[in-house]
Amino acid sequence: MKLVILDRDGVINYDSEHFVKSAAEWKAIPGSLEAIAKLNQAGYKVVVATNQSGIGRGLFDMDTLNAMHEKMHRAVQSVGGRIDAIFYCPHSADSNCKCRKPKPGMLERISGCFNTDLSGVYAIGDSLRDLQAAVSAGARPVLVLTGKGKFTHAEEDLPEGTLVFADLAEAVGHILHS
């Protein structure tokens, strides 16, 4: 199965240090929606894996998260693409759950739901925890320099084999031509 896993905030849409807390605040990064559509057109399933601790912190509720995701689905569909599934962790960082990245639980759940091994699957994120979750789950870590990506690239010790691209569009160009 051709599958790509994407983090949401900082990869598909602009991130905020104060969290993206409403559908109105959700704004796509230029080129990201079209990149998802290109993956779909090449036969890839696209799955989002996102930490959403704003729920656990009480900054927004499930209805608000669903409204953000509905806006994202509509935006991707407007350019001819689709997101096949969204997996999220609603827990705060201190909850010690198994699904919050950098732990691999969310990616392992994706593997189980899609009945596929994640070796060779690109997992694209903008933070060290995205990359660590990818490596722990056996996926291929990819860093984009949007969102927190420039800081991550400059300040963090990236996992071995991490690919680095300017943005999702550039990462997808690599995936489609490799």
Residues carrying an active site annotation:
7, 9
Closest CA to 143 of 169, 171, 107, 175: 171
The answer to whether residues 110 and 49 touch, using CB atoms and an 8 Å cutoff, is: yes
Within 13 Å and on the Cβ side, how many CA atoms surround 102? 11
E strand intervals along the chain = 3-6, 45-51, 85-89, 122-125, 140-144, 163-165
Cβ distance 13 to 20 under 8 Å?
Answer: yes
First-to-last alpha carbon distance for the chain, in angstroms, is 16
